Structure 1
Amino acid sequence: MKKFVNRIQLHRQDGFTLIELIAALAVFSLIAGLISAVTIFGFRQYNRITLENSLREEGDIAMSSVMTELYTFAPDYIMNVEGSSGIILQKGEGDTAEKRRIEIVNGTLVMGQASLEAADLETGSPYEIDADLTGSLIQAQTADGRACRSSAPCASGLIDIRLKLTRTAQQENHGMELESKFGF
């Protein structure tokens, strides 16, 4: 009986063979690689969507601030800023006319008195937008498409706003374009 028991213990194997160990490590590395790839992809998508949402919010803030300025000031006439992307709102006529300016200056939305100098325009905006607005357009035109000039201001028409919002995050440029037209 003792011989029989010794013979069974000789064939008994504790542990794994090399092939089993290699197979287990291969399966584990495939699963771990897949999990990490999905997790990293998820974080990147989350960051991209968060950035897109913040750009959209900033665009909405810019659009609503322009509309608020337009409707609270209630101008009689609107004209385009010569040589720039912006509009001048005019209430009244002649020398007593009150004017306000809405303009894109150095990639920033600026709103304030029309008589401000260029240096003051850069600090005239009460609206803080982190995105760069370079390449954006604000212009007024009549319903039939003619531009509103200082020589021929418009009493009614359309304001066309095209915002190109860009922001750099993690060494990548992210951008969004928003367009809106509304009547005055």
Structure 2
Amino acid sequence: MNKYIKKQDGLTLLELLATIVILAIISTLVFSMLIKTIETNKNIQQETKLRDEADLIISKFIKTLYSTNQNHIVRNTGNQYIEITNDSSKCKKTEDGTWIINNSCIQTLEPLGFKTENNITYIYFKNEKYNVQNSGIRISNKSKIIGDPVIDSIYEINLELEITKKRSNKDQIKTMVFINQIQPIINSK
């Protein structure tokens, strides 16, 4: 019996400390991978929201521009939006193709593109003011429509969307830019 009591196998303090250290290292790695996975998932969800909103906006641009006659596009106002006349009889062109813009012409103009009002950028599709569908998403004031109706028949839409995310109690803004080219109806007139 004496031999049995002396041969008891148990854990030494050193073995116990080594086990605790190994478990701490493994649990730290697992926890950090879990946190990284959650963070990646949130980023993917935000990008998906931005892409969904961009798809809606660009489809409205395509629908509006494809159904617009190039001869009705009067001018581009500094790459923010273009103006389209809804009555081409009141807006006339000169020999070189530039528009004569008088008061009767101005009354027929409808915006298509981006307008910033009170530090908020909106999109106008002729007489429709577009509201963003996904909460937390904003249209950047850097969004623009590029194209001169006198010389261009293709318009480039540079849509920049922003979403705010919280990280460590600080707001971070994620921005995505979407660039599309759209060509309206072209008449040989």
TM-score bracket, normalised by the shorter chain, equals 0.7 to 0.9
Which residue number corresponds to residue 142 of structure 2?
135
Do 1:166 and 1:174's aligned partners in 2 also have CA atoms closer than 8 Å? yes
For the residues of structure 1 that align with 2:18 and 2:75, how far apart are their CA atoms? Answer: 72
Gaps of 5+ in 2: 91-103, 185-189
Give yes or no for the alignment of 1:90 onto 2:85. Answer: yes
For the residues of structure 2 that align with 1:10 and 1:82, how far apart are their CA atoms? Answer: 95
Deviation, structure 1 residue 46: 0.9
For the residues of structure 2 that align with 1:135 and 1:50, how far apart are their CA atoms? Answer: 23
Amino acid across the alignment from 2:125: M
**Structure 2 length-normalised TM:** 0.72
User: Aligned residues: percent identity?
Assistant: 18
Which residue number corresponds to residue 172 of structure 1?
172
Map 1:15-164; keep pairs closer than 5 Å.
15-72=10-67, 74=69, 76-83=71-78, 85-91=80-86, 92-94=88-90, 95=104, 98-106=108-116, 107-113=121-127, 124-129=128-133, 130-140=137-147, 147-148=148-149, 157-164=153-160
* Secondary structure of 1:131 counterpart: strand
**Structure 1 length-normalised TM:** 0.74
* Secondary structure of 2:14 counterpart: helix
Q: Higher Cα Rg: structure 1 or 2? A: 1
Q: Which aligned segments of 4 or more residues in structure 1 are displaced greater than 6 angstroms?
A: none
Cα RMSD of the aligned pairs, angstroms, is 2.4
Task: Specify which structure has the higher proportion of helix.
Answer: 1
For the residues of structure 1 that align with 2:79 and 2:89, how far apart are their CA atoms? Answer: 23
Do 1:108 and 1:133's aligned partners in 2 also have CA atoms closer than 8 Å? no
* Secondary structure of 1:168 counterpart: strand
Gaps of 5+ in 1: 114-123, 141-146
Q: Deviations over 1:71-117 (max 9, x none)?
A: 3455642133434600112243215885421121222212343xxxx
Do 2:50 and 2:161's aligned partners in 1 also have CA atoms closer than 8 Å? yes
* Secondary structure of 2:22 counterpart: helix
